[in-house]
Amino acid sequence: MNVQFSLDASTQPLLAILVNEDNINDVLSEPCFSKDLVQWVTEADFTGKDGTNIVLPSAALQNSGNVKFVLIIGGTDERTAAGTAGYTAKEKGIAGLSLYNFTNVEVSVAQTILGNYRWEKYQNKTKGNLESITLVMEDNATAATRGTTIANARNFARDLVNMPADDLYPESLADFALGLGSDSVEVEVWGVEKLKSENMIGTLAVGRGSSREPRFIHMHYTPTNKTENTNKVVLVGKGITFDAGGLSLKPSAGMQTMRCDMGGSAVVMGVFHALQALQPDIEVHGLIGAAENMCAADSFKLGDILTYRNGKTVEIHNTDAEGRLVLADCLCVGSELGADYMIDFATLTGACIVAIGEHYNAIFSNESDLIDSLENSADAVGERVWQLPLPNLYKKKLKGTWSDLKNIGGRSAGSITAALFLSEFVSDTKWAHVDIAGPAFLDSKFEHFQPGGTGTMVESVLHMLSK
């Protein structure tokens, strides 16, 4: 995306103007607009209320220049307003957009690009792409570049989620990770032999029923000026590239969008997409357990017992509770890295959507400051998180009959018992678990996000790492 600055509002075919109920008359009375503009919007009953917008012809300007449409957006939130501008440009197939009366450059650029996102690789009909954004204000190229970097990272995560499972499987996911290697990012991929020698038992078990072999991906970002005081964080992502449920087979309808079960790995890879450009002053490890959970002759079975690399044993009671089995491997490795804190991201439980709906990510942690940090970062970038408890009280639900643990805890508190299961594989590290089962994938448009992968939490994590 080409982003530039100009004090001339008439350089692009679509001009988006942000107003609210308090400033609408002042903004629309500015000299570049038609003297009749205030009267037109008043007659159309447009008052600048949150979430409303109106499209007018170029006659809304004194000198229309290149402008074909004027989009007046009501509201006080620049984030969703810029997203609406980007989304409208996409719907109209417009190549250039100006933003007028927007003040936060990073947010405006990022959300315009996110609103404009398309996933049309497999569609023959396409409209023209947005190629340039002009901010009608003084130059602030640094903020514009940062906004572009963040949006591209989140859109990369969306691309990964949207890709059909026949195109995105553990090996190809690992290839995308290898593509993120740079001066400051190293990437290592473990194949089956290495998974065996490293006792990554959960990843091997889940991946066993698929002709696509599992992988473990380790990305490592090192800041240029690393010292012994540099903080270290581990990000872990669930990378189930397709979840048929294994022998505990899902019904067809529940399987339809199960390519999105690698949404947690997309968060981690989205974050790494931006690290080379943003250069945050913190060391970051990204660990992804990638496997395809299929129903086949060699699938892992109910009653199987897995012995993990931290010595704990897990009896399988449902092969569709596979994400936690793969994450457990990653959390063991992550715990060995001596990080200041570790956060995992996973489309882990349907129970999470039952508990807090499709637009909230559930957060769990053994440290209140990590919860505060996640909440503050999510707030700052307009994402939604909600803390759920992690009580020892429910640990008995996970007690195995023939082993230390079983891999499901029964019907009640399903997201909490899943989080408690993960906690068994975290040692001596501050840790948070983010269940993104709701927001990771949209069945229909929400705010300025089109249906499909959303890249939820990428912005929050980048904010957390680089603020």
Q: Would you please indicate which residues are annotated as catalytic (active-site) residues?
A: 250, 324
Which residue carries 């569709």 as its tokens?
Answer: 320
Which residues, in sequence order, are bridge partners of residue 234?
285, 342
Position 292 contacts Zn ion (CB under 5 A): no
Name the residue nearer to Zn ion (CB basis): 113 or 418: 418
Min separation Cβ 247 and Zn ion, Å: 12
Name the residue nearer to Zn ion (CB basis): 57 or 410: 410
Position 243 contacts Zn ion (CB under 5 A): yes
Closest CA to 407 of 309, 461, 326, 341: 326
Q: Tell me the H-state helices in 220-262.
A: 252-255
Min separation Cβ 214 and Zn ion, Å: 15
Query: Rounded to 5 degrees, what angle do the CA atoms 220, 457, 322 make?
Result: 75
Name the residue nearer to Zn ion (CB basis): 151 or 348: 348
Name the residue nearer to Zn ion (CB basis): 15 or 262: 262
Contact stretch for Zn ion (CB under 5 A) within 108-116, 142-150, 241-249, 427-435: 241-249
Element (H, E) at 153: helix 141-162
Min separation Cβ 319 and Zn ion, Å: 8
Contact stretch for Zn ion (CB under 5 A) within 173-181, 220-228, 320-328, 407-415: 320-328
Min separation Cβ 255 and Zn ion, Å: 10
End-to-end CA distance of the chain: 24
Position 320 contacts Zn ion (CB under 5 A): yes
Name the residue nearer to Zn ion (CB basis): 292 or 383: 292
The CA dihedral of 36, 38, 44, 48, to the nearest 10 degrees, is: 160
Distance in angstroms (rounded) separating the CA atoms of residues 136 and 393 = 57
Contact stretch for Zn ion (CB under 5 A) within 51-59, 145-153, 312-320, 402-410: 312-320
| Structure token digits, residue 296 | 């086949």
Closest CA to 448 of 123, 91, 160, 127: 91
Min separation Cβ 254 and Zn ion, Å: 9
Which residues, in sequence order, are bridge partners of residue 61?
33
Position 447 contacts Zn ion (CB under 5 A): no
Name the residue nearer to Zn ion (CB basis): 219 or 331: 331
Strands across the sheet with 385-387, in order?
A: 185-190, 215-221, 283-293, 232-243, 341-346, 430-435, 361-365, 385-387
Burial class (CB in 10 A: 0-12, 13-18, 19+), 67: buried
Binding mask 33-72 for Zn ion (x = CB under 5 A): ----------------------------------------
Position 435 contacts Zn ion (CB under 5 A): no
Eight-class DSSP state of 378: H
Name the residue nearer to Zn ion (CB basis): 75 or 438: 438
Name the residue nearer to Zn ion (CB basis): 271 or 325: 325
**By Cβ distance, which residue is nearest to Zn ion?**
320
Distance in angstroms (rounded) separating the CA atoms of residues 338 and 341 = 8
Query: Rounded to 5 degrees, what angle do the CA atoms 279, 284, 287 make?
Result: 135
Min separation Cβ 422 and Zn ion, Å: 15
Min separation Cβ 320 and Zn ion, Å: 4
Contact stretch for Zn ion (CB under 5 A) within 6-14, 240-248, 341-349, 398-406: 240-248
Min separation Cβ 244 and Zn ion, Å: 8
Burial class (CB in 10 A: 0-12, 13-18, 19+), 328: buried
Restricting to residues 337-366, name those near Zn ion by CB under 5 A.
Answer: none
Name the residue nearer to Zn ion (CB basis): 328 or 462: 328
Closest CA to 146 of 184, 91, 107: 107
SS3 404: coil
Contact stretch for Zn ion (CB under 5 A) within 158-166, 181-189, 238-246, 370-378: 238-246
Q: What is the number of H-type helices and E-type strands within the chain? A: 15, 19
Please give the size of the binding site for Zn ion, defined by CB under 5 A: 3
Distance in angstroms (rounded) separating the CA atoms of residues 209 and 443 = 28
Contact stretch for Zn ion (CB under 5 A) within 58-66, 218-226, 321-329, 374-382: 321-329
Min separation Cβ 245 and Zn ion, Å: 6
**Rounded alpha-carbon distances, angstroms, from residue 138 to 100, 135, 144:** 12, 8, 12
- Give the binding site for Zn ion (CB under 5 A): 243, 320, 322
